[in-house]
């Protein structure tokens, strides 16, 4: 489903139906998914649209830029590295591709959104919340609902550390897609309370297509290369 399309066109995948058809002097966009129906008018001549997975922090409305994934607790030995795979929710963005930057036409998701608080009510951060199992290998996933996150956990502390959550700053995710949606991140644990999370710009498979900068739902001036520091612990 993801990719670039010349309109008018018609697309159906699972419970998602998208079509753009010519209607008099303009085009109309129709999307139905999960009981949700959207109709919009597109002005101008024939053009292209891009359908891409986007960061899952836009629905029902944007209240945060952070994604928190909870998983089965893992005990990590000091000075060791463990790579695991998790699943994360995705949202689907429909962008109009024009001369300049792409414009977001529609955004929808097939997973139910849930939000949480990471940290304390006065100083913490609101997060999009998701629970995942821990996988040793890349798991099967429905690319319209979930992506696969490769998380490399490095324990740089002096003792064993239990890890059961990762918080990711979605300002500049490097998402790739093909038959799955992928994301790669590293987590460097310094103590039971402090860990840095870096987003890697690498796909998890061959010939995967990167989600272009213009077709991100969140616009940033400078891609964020600074790690997000989890200050309220990586465990329970």
Partner 1 sequence: MIPLDTPIYGTVTLGDLILFVIAVIVSVIIAKIVAIYLKRALSDRIDRGELDKLIKVIQVVIIFFGIWFALPSFDLDVGQLLVIGGTAGLIIAFASQKIVSNLGSGIFLLIERPVKIGDTIRIGNISGTVYQIRVLSTILKTNEGIYVRVPNEQVFTSDITNYVASPARRFEYRIMVGHRENVEAVNSAILALISDHPFVLKNPPPSVYMAGLSESGIEIVIRMWIPSMVWDSLQTEMPWKIKQLLDRMGVEIPVPQRVIRYAEVQPPEKRQD
Task: Return residues touching partner 1 (CB under 8 A).
Answer: 59-61, 63-64, 112-118, 121-126, 129, 219-221
In terms of CB distance, is 59 or 107 closer to partner 1? 59
How far apart are alpha carbons 136 and 97 in whole angstroms?
Answer: 38
Considering the complex, what minimum distance in angstroms separates the CB of residue 207 from partner 1? 31
Taking the complex as a whole, the smallest distance from the CB of residue 61 to partner 1 amounts, in Å, to 7
- What is the spatial distance between Cα 233 and Cα 118, in angstroms, rounded to a whole number? 9
Are the C-beta atoms of residues 18 and 95 closer than 8 Å to each other?
A: no
- The answer to whether residues 124 and 115 touch, using CB atoms and an 8 Å cutoff, is no
- Rounded Cα distance, 150 and 144, in Å: 18
Output the smallest distance, CB 124 to partner 1, in A.
6
User: Rounded to the nearest whole angstrom, what is the least distance from the CB of residue 13 to partner 1 in the complex?
Assistant: 24
Which of 129/176 has CB closer to partner 1? 129
Residue number, 206 or 236, with CB nearest to partner 1: 236
Beta carbon nearer to partner 1, 108 or 118: 118
Nearer to partner 1, 74 or 126 (CB): 126
Length of the chain equals: 236
Compute the least distance from the CB of residue 218 to partner 1, in Å.
9
Residue 56 or 143: the one with the smaller Cβ distance to partner 1 is 56
Least Å from the CB of residue 40 to partner 1: 18
Whether the Cβ atoms of residue 50 and residue 215 lie closer than 8 Å to each other: yes
| Least Cβ distance, residue 137 to partner 1 (angstroms) | 28
Distance between CA 100 and CA 159 in Å, rounded? 52
Query: What is the token pair recorded at 161?
Result: 């550390």
- Report the C-alpha gap between 184 and 126 in whole angstroms: 22
Q: Which residues of 40-77 are buried (b: 16+ CB within 10 A; e: fewer)?
A: eebeeeeeebbbbbbbbbbbeeeebbbbbbbbeebebe
Nearer to partner 1, 61 or 136 (CB): 61
Nearest to 218 by CA among 179, 171, 173, 177: 171
């Amino acid at each position: 489903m993801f990719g670039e399309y010349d309109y008018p066109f018609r697309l159906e995948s699972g419970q998602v139906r998208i079509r753009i058809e010519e209607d008099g002097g303009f085009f109309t966009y129709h999307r139905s998914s999960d009981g949700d129906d959207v109709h919009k008018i597109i002005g101008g001549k024939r053009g292209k649209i891009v359908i891409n997975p986007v960061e899952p922090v836009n629905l029902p409305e944007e209240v945060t830029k952070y994604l928190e994934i909870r998983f089965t607790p893992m005990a990590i030995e000091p000075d060791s590295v463990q790579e695991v795979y998790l699943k994360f929710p995705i949202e689907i963005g429909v962008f109009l591709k024009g001369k300049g930057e792409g414009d977001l036409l529609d955004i929808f998701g097939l997973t139910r959104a849930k939000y949480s608080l990471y940290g304390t009510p006065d100083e913490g951060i609101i997060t999009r919340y998701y629970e995942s199992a821990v996988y040793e290998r890349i798991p099967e996933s429905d690319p319209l609902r979930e992506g696969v996150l490769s998380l490399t956990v490095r324990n740089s502390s002096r003792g064993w550390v239990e890890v059961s959550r990762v918080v990711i700053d979605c300002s500049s995710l490097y998402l790739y897609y093909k038959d799955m949606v992928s994301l790669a991140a590293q987590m460097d644990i310094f103590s039971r309370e402090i860990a840095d999370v870096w987003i890697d710009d690498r796909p998890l498979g061959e010939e995967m297509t990167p989600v272009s900068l213009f077709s991100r739902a969140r616009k940033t001036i400078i891609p964020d290369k600074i790690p997000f520091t989890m200050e309220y612990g990586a465990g329970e």
